[in-house]
Amino acid sequence: MTPSTLLALLATLPLALAAPTTSCPAPTAPTLPTSPNFRLIANITCEDLTPSLQNWPLTSYHTGAGTALAVLTPPTANATGRAFYLSGTVSDIQASNASVLSDGGTPPFPYGLVVPAASASGAQRAVQINAGDGTPGVNFSHSPPTSPFLTYDAAGAWYACNATLPYGPAVVLYYRSAGEGKPAGCAGVMLLPEW
Ligand SMILES: *[C@@H]1O[C@H](CO)[C@@H](O)[C@H](O)[C@H]1NC(C)=O
Ligand SMILES: *[C@@H]1O[C@H](CO)[C@@H](O)[C@H](O)[C@H]1NC(C)=O
Ligand SMILES: *[C@@H]1O[C@H](CO)[C@@H](O)[C@H](O)[C@H]1NC(C)=O
Ligand SMILES: *[C@@H]1O[C@H](CO)[C@@H](O)[C@H](O)[C@H]1NC(C)=O
Ligand SMILES: CC(=O)N[C@H]1CO[C@H](CO)[C@@H](O)[C@@H]1O
């Protein structure tokens, strides 16, 4: 794919992160998973596609050197989704200022979840998984007793749409801030961490 093709593609395409919680049965310190790695699993909030995207894991769709689109993939034994982890210091994480990373490349180096900024043209914001630190503030909401879910800015949301990418059909993840609409025919999704 040429750089201009990629840019055109990206212009049409969003992302976020979360913090672990528990059901908080008693005022004891929450039990956090011992593994720092988690997968991000789609939970449909409205207008599911056919076939259903429920429980589809998030993975990456290679688009160029160090760049990828964030896509949902059918859950199969061979496609369990990409492993992500939270970057940042403890204080970054507490300040919801960490970013979501995943290792890629050979040898592995960090890839971050990237949410493009809103543009004046209102173009859809396709989430990317690119080499680098990712977008700070993609974090997990964590207000027990609700389960943690990936968030970015206040009142924004993720959605997923069918798309035709260079290697064939795919379900691309997008982000919209408050005030930006979800296109008809796209599924509203929450992204739940699964350890
Ligand atoms: C995930 O989706 C199911 C089915 O719609 C719903 O019952 C459940 O509450 C959702 N989970 C979260 C954490 O929102
Ligand atoms: C999963 O991977 C195994 C081993 O590479 C392969 O034999 C099998 O056909 C794959 N299954 C699917 C559904 O791709
Ligand atoms: C958030 O992270 C950025 C980038 O690492 C850093 O410059 C900034 O100081 C951090 N802000 C807070 C409140 O920790
Ligand atoms: C999305 O793509 C899948 C696979 O190509 C197709 O089966 C399905 O009908 C499409 N759904 C919509 C809503 O376009
Ligand atoms: C830095 C940042 O964007 N933090 C966000 C983390 O997510 C919460 C919502 O869960 C936002 O309110 C914070 O602004």
Residue nearest ligand 5's atom 9 by CA: 141
Distance CA 39, CA 193 (A): 6
Q: Would you state the pLDDT for residue 166?
A: 85
Ligand nearest to the CA of 42: 1
Gap from CA of 106 to ligand 5 centroid (Å) = 32
Q: Which two tokens stand for residue 108?
A: 């592995």
Count CB-CB contacts under 10 A for residue 194.
13
Gap from CA of 171 to ligand 4 centroid (Å) = 9
Q: Would you state the pLDDT for residue 139?
A: 78
Buried b (16+ CB within 10 A) or exposed e, 3-32: eeeeeebbeebbbbbbbbbbeeeeeeeeee
pLDDT in tens, the chain (195 residues): 444 444 444 444 333 334 444 444 444 333 334 456 778 899 999 999 999 999 999 988 888 888 989 999 998 766 667 778 777 666 666 666 667 777 776 666 778 899 999 998 889 999 999 988 889 888 777 665 567 788 898 889 999 999 998 888 999 999 999 989 999 999 999 998 887
Q: Would you state the pLDDT for residue 60?
A: 87
Q: Whole-prediction pTM value?
A: 0.74
Q: Would you state the pLDDT for residue 106?
A: 65
Angle ∠(49,55,61) on CA atoms, nearest 5: 75
Ligand 4 mutation target, pool 44, 46, 49, most atoms within 8 A of CB? 49
Q: Would you state the pLDDT for residue 70?
A: 94
Q: Count Cβ atoms within 10 A of the Cβ of residue 71 and give its class: 0-12 exposed, 13-18 middle, 19 or more buried.
A: buried
Given a contact cutoff of 8 angstroms between Cβ atoms, the answer to whether 109 and 131 are in contact is: yes
Residue nearest ligand 2's atom 14 by CA: 78
Protein residues whose CB sits closer than 6 Å to any atom of ligand 4: 49-50, 162, 169, 185
Gap from CA of 134 to ligand 3 centroid (Å) = 13
Strand partners, 169: 164
3-state secondary structure of 120: coil
Residue nearest ligand 4's atom 13 by CA: 49
Ligand nearest to the CA of 134: 3
Q: Would you state the pLDDT for residue 179?
A: 87
